[in-house]
Chain A
Amino acid sequence: MTVHDLRDVLREHGDGPSPANPARHEEIAARIRRIRLRRRALGGGGVTAVAAAVALGVSLLPGSLSRPTEPRPATASEATLVPKQPADFLPERFTTSDGTKYRRIAITAIKRAGPTKVSVTIPVSGKPLDVGAVCAGPSTDAPSVSTGDGRSTSADFGGCSRSMQLRPLLVPAATSGSKLTLTFNTTVRGGGCLMRNGTCVPRKPTRGLWSLAVYEWTPPARPAEPPPLKALPDHAGEARLAETKTGVWPQNGSATFKVRGKVGFDTLCTGDLAGRLWFSFMANGHPAGGSGSCGVWEGGAFPSAVSEFSYPTNKTTTVKVTWKLLGTATNRPVRWSVGLYQK
Chain B
Amino acid sequence: MADRGIYQDFVVTRSDRLLRTAYLLTHDWASAEDLLQESLAKAWFAWARVEEPEAYVRKVLVTTYTSWWRRRWRRELPSDDLPDTPASDPVSDDRDALWRAVGRLPARQRAVVVLRVDETMVKELHR
A21 at the interface (CB under 8 A from B): yes
Do A13 and B8 touch across chains, with their CB atoms under 8 A apart? no
Do A17 and B86 touch across chains, with their CB atoms under 8 A apart? yes
Overall SS of chain A's interface:
mixed
B8 / chain A contacts, CB cutoff of 8 Å: 25, 80-82
A6-B63 CB under 8 A given contacts A19-B86, A24-B15, A238-B73 = no
Could you jot down 14 A-B contacts, CB within 8 Å? A10-B99, A10-B114, A16-B86, A18-B19, A18-B20, A31-B38, A31-B41, A36-B45, A56-B45, A81-B8, A81-B44, A300-B37, A302-B77, A302-B79
Overall SS of chain B's interface:
helix
CA distance A153 to B4 in the complex (A): 32
B41 / chain A contacts, CB cutoff of 8 Å: 28, 31-32, 34-35
Q: Which of B15, B16, B73, B85 has the most CB of A within 10 A?
A: B73
Do A19 and B46 touch across chains, with their CB atoms under 8 A apart? no
A15 / chain B contacts, CB cutoff of 8 Å: 20
CA distance A304 to B11 in the complex (A): 23
Q: Which of B7, B45, B78, B83 has the most CB of A within 10 A?
A: B45
Where the two chains meet, the residues of A that have a C-beta atom closer than 8 Å to any C-beta of B are 1, 5-21, 23-25, 27-28, 31-32, 34-36, 49, 52, 55-56, 58, 80-83, 137-138, 206, 233, 235-239, 264, 300-302, 304-306, 308
> How far, in Å, is A216 (CB) from chain B's closest CB?
34
CB closest residue in chain A, given B98: A9
A306-B75 CB under 8 A given contacts A56-B42, A301-B34 = yes
A-B interface pairs (CB < 8 A), number: 144
> How far, in Å, is A245 (CB) from chain B's closest CB?
20
Q: Which of B4, B33, B76 has the most CB of A within 10 A?
A: B76
Which 3 A-B pairs rank lowest in CB-CB distance, beginning with the nearest?
Answer: A19-B83, A237-B73, A31-B41
B120 / chain A contacts, CB cutoff of 8 Å: none
CA distance A236 to B36 in the complex (A): 19
CB closest residue in chain A, given B92: A9
CA distance A121 to B85 in the complex (A): 57
Q: Which of B19, B36, B37, B72 has the most CB of A within 10 A?
A: B37
Partner pick for A137 among B4, B85, B94, CB 8 A cutoff: B4
The contact string, 1 if C-beta is below 8 Å from chain A, for chain B 66-80, is 010001111111110
Partner pick for B102 among A8, A10, A235, A306, CB 8 A cutoff: A10
A56 / chain B contacts, CB cutoff of 8 Å: 42, 45-46, 60
Do A304 and B89 touch across chains, with their CB atoms under 8 A apart? no
Q: Which of B15-29 contact A (CB under 8 A)?
A: 15-16, 19-21, 23-24, 29
Do B83 and A21 touch across chains, with their CB atoms under 8 A apart? yes
Partner pick for B98 among A6, A17, A19, A36, CB 8 A cutoff: A6
CA distance A198 to B84 in the complex (A): 41
B64 / chain A contacts, CB cutoff of 8 Å: 55
Do A13 and B24 touch across chains, with their CB atoms under 8 A apart? yes
Q: A5-B94, A7-B116, A49-B75 are in contact. List 4 more A-B contacts (CB 8 A).
A: A6-B102, A28-B11, A32-B44, A58-B45
